[in-house]
Amino acid sequence: MIMFKPEERKIRVTRGISIFLAAKEAGVDIRSECDGKGSCGKCKITIKDHKAVNKVSEIEKKHFSPSEINSGFRLACQTTIFQNTKVTIPHESRIGLRKIQIKGLERPVKLDLALKKYNLTLPKPTLSDFRPDLERIFEELSNIINIRGLEIDYTALKKLPDILRNANWNITITIWKDRKIIAIEPGETTKELFGLALDIGTSKIVGYIVDLTTGKTIGIGSVKNPQAIHGEDIMSRIRFATVEDNGLITLQRSAIAGINHVLHEACIKAGIHPSHVYEATVVGNTAMHHFFLAIQPKYMALSPFTPVIKKTISVKASELNIGINSNGVINVLPVIAGFVGSDAVADALATGIHESNELSLLIDIGTNTEVFVGNTEDVLCCSCASGPAFEGAHIKHGIKAETGAIEKITIEPDSFEVKYKTVENAKPIGLCGSSIVDILAEMLKCGIINFQGRFNSKIETPRIRIPNGEKEFVLVWGTETGTGKDIVFTQKDVDEVQLAKAAIFAGCSILIKRKNLEKEHLTRILLAGAFGNFINPENAKIIGLIPDIPTERINFVGNTAVTGAKMALLSMEVMDTADVISNKIRYLELAADPDFAREFAYAWYLPHKDLERFPSISSLLNGIHKN
């Protein structure tokens, strides 16, 4: 028996099970980025009864000091239980309330619905009129629409006779794409016509309930992606899906559980019943797309990173156990190539980059960052393996944008005093992506680190120290934090951010070069996604994350993945355009580009090895040592 504190949740488990797996069974969230492999060190717990568990592993000794081990600190994934005990999950290992970007740029579309509802009053059968029930429906419909080729869903057909008679022959039918009757309801329900637009992100799931008669969003739901317990990053989940027994089905069920949670929340806010949601459009990166459909993702992780399918897929809701009307239709929008998935197609739909005369650079920053360059003439895209640093992963005190996460930071250049703002104004417990950009920029501006990202040994301040041989800068003293421990930024953290931003900037540079352009030709930079919406654009330029163009040309467009999905929900023409975009946008595989290695190496510097690419920034850095 294990009791998890502070949840006070008990669970009986098999002797020898890891505490990480026991927590999964108990429904207790413990932070993890490596799905229990021991490499990330985020699943910290404390156990006072050393005899109840196995000995400390060599992996744990790399993550904890001797004093921490003596205090009972362990990694949940490395600790197996042999007898009843209590396990405490410290604040920094718990998953708090996420700050999720749920809104994004919306372009108006003309309603062109796949769904139509018709209210019919049918003549009752008599001894002289003994036509079958379905023929009566077809005959009444033929006075309104062309019914050639019209079919009825099998499950709807089975319910038909009872519904007709209980409704006294007054019914409302729902038809999808003028091809199939998917629902039959008693009475007049033509105004009860709703859809779901859904973005399955690596870290979160966001859904809009849309009134299809008006095109307005009437309810929004969001949740942390439950798949995260099997790994914070895509590659960990692909490994889980391909190595673990039933791993792929487990990931699919996790996604569907999250989707149904979002659906329920959004329906409550909208004041409607899920059975009146008849259609959904779903987007996500290519890995999320495959997990959701339980399509083998193994070969996406192997060169040449090939997805199984590209085009739009339509599946009956009951086949996926999605909680909308059981006969409703789930449309999964097309992917482009590699890890550039249907969320990127939705980004293009929402921003209109493929229809605009303006030359745009669209960046959706995440674990795999999608980059587009182009306009109505041509669009070129790529996926950058930027890693999860901007999601807080691989950063010593990095966390998601949740309660207590530091989201903004400034450093005073003379005293090196730090000012910060946290999510929900709670006591700080860690650093989320937007503050990580601020930290690197502020440290560079203050001379704490140099052009190469190395700590300046000439600066004297108690905030710079060298525990265990690695330099770090203390951002918040333990007396101010929610964990009671100092929050620091280490040399390794600087390195991680340099690698992430170098991958993104190299992707931008190569696309611009392959389009035979210069950054000056860009009319605008569009920053999409949760991370992009909260970063300081000046600081993003200072560290070399985005090209150095005037700040007024930088636009935050929010969660365009879900708004693009909504556009496709409202218009069959837009849905068709999604497939056109999927086939028309040209994909560039960065790994195969001959200039990628050099561009990446140059972009590793702060802001860049070639400072002529950052003229407005170089003047700020005159006092920084450059080697």
How far apart CA 391 and CA 202 sit, in angstroms, is 10
Residue 169 and residue 84 share a domain: no
Question: For a pLDDT cut of 90, what percent of the chain falls above it?
Answer: 62
Q: Domain ends where: 36, 63, 93?
A: 93
| Predicted local confidence at residue 98, as pLDDT | 47
pLDDT of residue 356 exceeding 50, the answer is: yes
| Predicted local confidence at residue 305, as pLDDT | 83
The CATH code of the domain that includes 348 is 3.30.420.40
Residue 39 and residue 12 share a domain: yes
Residue 300 lies in a domain: no
Residue 216 lies in a domain: no
pLDDT of residue 196 exceeding 50, the answer is: yes
Residue 13 lies in a domain: yes
| Predicted local confidence at residue 94, as pLDDT | 66
- Secondary structure (DSSP) of 504-573: HHHHHHHHHHHTT--GGG-SEEEEEHHHHHHS-HHHHHHTTSS----GGGEEEEE-HHHHHHHHHHHBHH
Residue 354 lies in a domain: yes
Both tokens of residue 287?
Answer: 């890995």
For range 159-174, the mean pLDDT: 94
- Any idea what DSSP says for residue 447? T
Residue 158 and residue 74 share a domain: no
For range 396-403, the mean pLDDT: 85
Both tokens of residue 414?
Answer: 């003379």
How does residue 42 score in pLDDT terms, banded at 50, 70 and 90? confident
| Predicted local confidence at residue 35, as pLDDT | 59
How far apart CA 361 and CA 354 sit, in angstroms, is 11
φ, ψ for residue 538, nearest 5 deg: -65, -45
The CATH code of the domain that includes 169 is 3.10.20.880
Asked whether 59 and 98 are in contact (CB, 8 A), the reply is: no
Residue 545 and residue 399 share a domain: no
| Predicted local confidence at residue 34, as pLDDT | 66
For range 110-134, the mean pLDDT: 91
Closest CA to 530 of 396, 375, 400: 400
Amino acid at 532: G
Number of domains forming the structure of the chain: 4
Q: Which helix (H) or strand (E) segment is 75 a member of?
A: strand 73-75
Q: 217: Cβ–Cβ under 8 A, 6 or more apart, which residues? A: 208, 209, 210, 211, 566
Least confidently predicted of 86-100, 147-161, 164-178, 316-330: 86-100
Closest CA to 485 of 7, 37, 36, 46: 46
| Predicted local confidence at residue 506, as pLDDT | 95
Residue 366 and residue 398 share a domain: no
Q: Domain ends where: 153, 186, 219?
A: 186
Preceding peptide of 6 cis, ω within 30°: yes
Distance of CA 99 to the CA centre of its chain: 12
pTM assigned to the model = 0.80
Place of tokens 């080697």: 627
| Predicted local confidence at residue 7, as pLDDT | 65
Q: 514: Cβ–Cβ under 8 A, 6 or more apart, which residues? A: 380, 588, 593
Residue 399 and residue 490 share a domain: yes
Other beta carbons within 10 angstroms of residue 15's beta carbon come to: 8
Boundaries of domain holding 57 = 2-93
Residue 492 and residue 394 share a domain: yes
pLDDT of residue 100 exceeding 70, the answer is: no
Q: Which helix (H) or strand (E) segment is 242 a member of?
A: helix 234-243
Burial of 417 (0-12, 13-18, 19+ CB in 10 A): exposed
| Predicted local confidence at residue 627, as pLDDT | 42
Least confidently predicted of 190-194, 239-243, 301-305: 301-305
| Predicted local confidence at residue 91, as pLDDT | 66
Residue 394 lies in a domain: yes
How far apart CA 558 and CA 561 sit, in angstroms, is 9
Amino acid at 438: D
For range 450-474, the mean pLDDT: 92
How does residue 231 score in pLDDT terms, banded at 50, 70 and 90? confident
Q: Domain ends where: 186, 202, 232?
A: 186
* 529 or 192, which is more confident: 192
Residue 375 and residue 521 share a domain: yes
| Predicted local confidence at residue 152, as pLDDT | 94
Distance of CA 58 to the CA centre of its chain: 33
Asked whether 371 and 385 are in contact (CB, 8 A), the reply is: no
What is the average pLDDT value for the chain, to the nearest integer? 89
How far apart CA 343 and CA 282 sit, in angstroms, is 9
φ, ψ for residue 372, nearest 5 deg: -125, 140
pLDDT of residue 96 exceeding 80, the answer is: no
Other beta carbons within 10 angstroms of residue 386's beta carbon come to: 24
Both tokens of residue 253?
Answer: 């069920």
Residue 331 lies in a domain: no
Q: What's the pLDDT tens digit per position in 388-399?
A: 777 777 899 998
* 607 or 145, which is more confident: 607
Residue 217 lies in a domain: no
How far apart CA 70 and CA 203 sit, in angstroms, is 34
- How many angstroms separate the most distant Cα atoms in the chain? 102
Q: What's the pLDDT tens digit per position in 568-609?
A: 999 999 999 999 999 999 999 998 899 999 999 999 999 999
Q: What's the pLDDT tens digit per position in 244-282?
A: 889 999 999 999 999 999 999 999 999 999 999 999 999
Residue 143 and residue 78 share a domain: no
How does residue 103 score in pLDDT terms, banded at 50, 70 and 90? low
The CATH code of the domain that includes 45 is 3.10.20.30
Both tokens of residue 360?
Answer: 């745009």
Burial of 239 (0-12, 13-18, 19+ CB in 10 A): buried
- Secondary structure (DSSP) of 309-358: --S-EEEEHHHHT-SS-TT-EEEEPPP-BTTB-HHHHHHHHHHTTTT-SS
Least confidently predicted of 1-10, 350-359, 365-374, 441-450: 1-10
Residue 52 and residue 23 share a domain: yes
Give the Å distances, CA to CA, from 438 to 257, 366, 433, 443, 458. 35, 17, 9, 8, 22
How far apart CA 82 and CA 453 sit, in angstroms, is 46
For range 470-498, the mean pLDDT: 94
Residue 615 lies in a domain: no
pLDDT of residue 532 exceeding 80, the answer is: no
Residue 399 and residue 492 share a domain: yes
For range 127-141, the mean pLDDT: 90
Strand residues in 385-523 grouped as ranges (E):
405-411, 418-422, 430-431, 464-465, 472-476, 487-490
Residue 517 and residue 372 share a domain: yes
| Predicted local confidence at residue 625, as pLDDT | 44
Count of H helices and E strands in the chain?
Answer: 18, 27
